[in-house]
Structure 1
Amino acid sequence: MKRLARTVPALVLALVAGLTLSSCTDDSSQDKENKAKQQNYDHLVAQQPAGRMEYSPTREAINQWIKTWGQRGKLSYVYIQNARGEYGYFVMKGLPVARCKMLTPTERVESSSHGVAVVAQPGMDGTYSAGSMCNAYYGFDATTGAYMEFTVGTNQSFFLFDKPMTMPEYARAKQLGPTSVKDVENPS
């Protein structure tokens, strides 16, 4: 028993030494560069640690967004500017939604002895999508509930507000959907 008690620590010590030596000889150039990058990062953090904020304007803005848009029945005013600088607008129930947003997962992860694969899943309409259409938005008209869709990019931008805008470029905007600003300001 005493002999075994002396042999086990010696074997553990030999195993640790062997692993240490083998890890030293397997340093690839990528390992060396990763180590240098980490050392540089550690040095910079020690010299310039991240500051501590007493207040977060970003968190305040997110909470204000939630307060603004987190209520049922809120109207959005979507002003669209085309390549010629002309403006039009929609009045919608709630926020416009990017077409690439889904309520169900679009992918699932499958593991097997061959590795891990990400597999596409069909959408609610039973078809598959490549996750495109993030530049297309849709929503519903404020008074009629009519479906409306628009795209952005390629010289077309949209500006979203929670109230009608009175600045000249917006005040002169053409009504693009069934509801006008006047319809929702003075409902009959």
Structure 2
Amino acid sequence: MRKFVRTALAPVVALVVGLALTSCTDSSQDKENKAKQKGYDHLVAQQPAGRMEYSPTREAINQWVKTWGKRGKLSYVYIQNANGEYGYFIMKGLPVPRCKMLTPTEKVEHSDGGVAVLAQPGMDGTYTTGSTCNAYYGFDATTNAYMEFTVGTNQSFFLFDKPMSMPEYASAKQLGPTSVKDVPK
């Protein structure tokens, strides 16, 4: 019987010793992560997240979907340069950042216990760094001409779903083929 108890207890003792040794070898990052998690758990217990009865964020997103989720919707893109001057384009749909793609830009590969993230070619068969997010493109509302513009470095754009009548926008110079006068009301 004693041999059976020793044989049955041996794996349990080995497990306890193994766990004890593992806890002694926590890295400093492990210790700080545990402290951070313990702090987070304490704060959540003391200050649980509130519950909203209504979400203005969801309402805004749904309104965005209603506004832009229709074929043929025009966008009025007003651009302000470093001198404070405004110009405008009228485009079909929304301007699209050049870094947006229809196909995945990366592929995750798992091998030998490791993970590698590999770049994938774009629609044109070339690779990109994703640094073209400040360049936008679209198509003119009446001529379908391709248009592209960049933002940053003292240039901003303001997007509306209707022409703006405020003074700074009303005096904006036409930058693309289509004028506000060309668009049916």
TM-score (norm 1): 0.91
List gaps (5 residues or longer) in structure 2. none
**Structure 1 counterpart of 2:109:** 110
**C-alpha separation in 2, matches of 1:89 and 1:68:** 20
Aligned residues between the structures: 185
Deviation, structure 1 residue 18: 1.4
Match of 2:130 in 1: 131
Give 2:93's aligned residue: 94
In structure 2, the residue matched to 1:147 is 146
Q: Give the superposed CA RMSD.
A: 1.8
Query: For 1:115-174, what per-residue CA distance to the aligned partner results, in whole angstroms no more than 9, with x for missing partners?
Result: 322221211112111112110000000001000000000000000000111101000101
| CA distance in 2: counterparts of 1:85 and 1:5, whole angstroms | 88
Q: Does residue 164 of the first structure (1) align with residue 183 of the second (2)?
A: no
Provide, for residues 36-77 of structure 1, a one-character-per-residue CA deviation record: whole Å limited to 9, x for no partner. Answer: 212211121122111111111111111111110000000000
Match of 1:183 in 2: 182
Query: Which whole-Å deviations, capped at 9, do the CAs of 1:53-107 have from their partners, x for residues lacking one?
Result: 1111111111111110000000000000000000000010000000111101112
Say if 1:3 and 1:42 are closer, same or farther in 2 by CA, change over 3 A. same
Q: Which residue of 2 aligns with 1:65?
A: 64
- Counterpart for residue 33 of structure 1: 32
Identity %: 76
Unaligned runs of 5+ in 1: none
Q: SS of the residue aligned with 1:59?
A: helix
